[in-house]
Amino acid sequence: MSTGDPGCTATSQIHAGYEPQAPYRPIAVPIYQTAAYEFPDYASARRMFALEEPGFTYSRTGNPTVAVLENRIAALDGGVGALATATGQAAVAVALLSLVRGGQHIVASSKLYGGTVDLLTDTFADFGIEVSFADPADPGAWRAVVRPTTRAFLTESIGNPLATLQDLPAIATAAHDAGVPLVVDNTLATPALYRPLDHGADVVVYSATKFLGGHGTTLAGAVVDGGRFDFAAYPDKWPQITRPKRRYGGAILWERHGHGAYLALARSKYLHDLGPSLAPASAAQILQGLETLDIRVARHGQNTREVIQFLAGHPAVAAVHHPSTPGHPQAELLARDFPAGAGSVFSFDLAADQEHVGPFIDRLRLFKLVANVGDTRSLVAHPASMTHCRLSPEQRAGAGITGSTIRLSVGLEAAADLVADLDLALAPLAGVAEPTGGPLAAVGHAGTGA
């Protein structure tokens, strides 16, 4: 069963990247719990360390269990390869550091996960990397902030927390006109709903902690390379890929690895030097989750439709931020690019002041107050005081987040139980809510920015 995209097949999520090997032919991917590997001989060790011969040397830069996960995610996304990391945060950092250095610049969506904003505006700022934020609904705004030093565009295919969509091919064209790759965080969509490489992206990143693993047990991340960005077309922009490097014995990564050069750099330099490597036992957990990805995502989507229908008609709800709501400004993008839906992480605004947020959340029983999404369990969060608490008031306003915005990650429980939970928690608010004038269609979509 596929949830809509022919590239994400149930077969690939179960089989891609793994063939049982003799003598035991284990049907499940074995966990190679080893830090290092014995070299067959001295000459091989020399060649492998010089990156002249492929192979596992030390699990910081590669491990057979982790490699199956990498190949499986690359297959699901239609990439030439992938790199697994210890967390999604590490995946975003490694993907960008492989493109951008101090004194250079990133153009990023103004509607991003708060941890990514922290990385860009604080840690990367410490490194001398600059960032300009642009409205994902306005590709022209991205072009307007491009500088000669720009080296990457970054966005989320479905924005966290407002389920923001964008015209990705238009943003990809703006990136390519600027001579830089487009990096897309596909965490909330997964390849079951959307494959960014099919829509113009060059690199895809994941927090595999969320839907790819799906069970809320394990932190992981991934960087997938589409292998199409032509670094050789702008050799002066990408010396790390197109010029001889002492680190590689004077070799040029582009000559040695061709369209695999970007990932070779990410692995041999950033994974090697910074060390945010995925543990093999964690890779096995994510692999197990991946096997049921499309079925889970379909059920998350079905439950989300029922929850949204309930919230949209509730007098204590001022707005529901999901492209599937009637009259939503991104309804056309949803119909064009997301035939299987825009996912199960979205936000809604209470029609009441922030002082009512805490009591509302504390009345919930099934929706757990958790700083995570993409779990089998339904989760609730308050972005302004949790995931997006370090954003400035201007950044929060730009992201469309108010003090009354509540984020939900709809899980796999019975939809009727989820609706009943929300119903009980919202009931006392119906009295204090500002009159909304009826069902959501008439309320609008405050804060979506479009």
Interface residues with ligand PLP (CB under 6 A) are 87-89, 92, 113, 115-116, 156, 160, 185, 187-188, 207, 209, 219, 221
Q: DSSP H helical segments within 189-330, as ranges?
A: 190-193, 239-242, 253-257, 261-265, 272-274, 280-290, 293-312
| Residue 128: CB minimum distance to ligand PLP, A | 23
- Closest approach, Cβ 163 to ligand PLP, in A, equals 11
Q: Which is nearer to ligand PLP, 185 or 375 (CB)?
A: 185
Closest distance to ligand PLP from the beta carbon of 87 (Å):
3
Rounded distance, CA 440 to CA 259, Å? Answer: 48
Considering beta carbons, is residue 156 or 375 the nearer one to ligand PLP?
156
Residue with structure tokens 């989507």?
Answer: 301
**Pairwise CA distance, residues 172 & 414, whole Å:** 39
Residue number with CB closer to ligand PLP (211 or 360):
211
What's the closest the beta carbon of residue 119 comes to ligand PLP, in angstroms? Answer: 9
Helices (H) and strands (E) in the chain, counts: 20, 12
DSSP-derived 3-state class of residue 131 = strand
Give the C-alpha separation, 314 to 138, whole Å. 31
User: Token pair for residue 31?
Assistant: 């966990």
Q: Which residue has the tokens 């008439």?
A: 442
> Nearest approach, Cβ of 85 to ligand PLP (angstroms)?
9
When the beta carbons of 181 and 221 are compared against ligand PLP, the nearer one is 221
* Cβ closest to ligand PLP, residue 120 vs residue 312: 120
Give residue number: closest CB to ligand PLP. Answer: 88
DSSP labels for 46-97?
HHHHTTSS---SBTTT--HHHHHHHHHHHHHHT-SEEEEESSHHHHHHHHHH
For the sheet with 317-321, list strands across it.
Answer: 317-321, 345-350, 405-409, 379-381, 368-369
The least CB distance from residue 206 to ligand PLP, in Å, is 8
Distance CA(224)–CA(258), nearest Å, equals: 16
CB nearer to ligand PLP: give 89 or 166.
89
Based on the number of CB atoms within 10 Å of its own CB, is 442 exposed (0-12), middle (13-18) or buried (19 or more)? exposed
Cβ-based nearer residue to ligand PLP, 61 or 209: 209
Name the minimum Å distance from CB 209 to ligand PLP.
Answer: 4
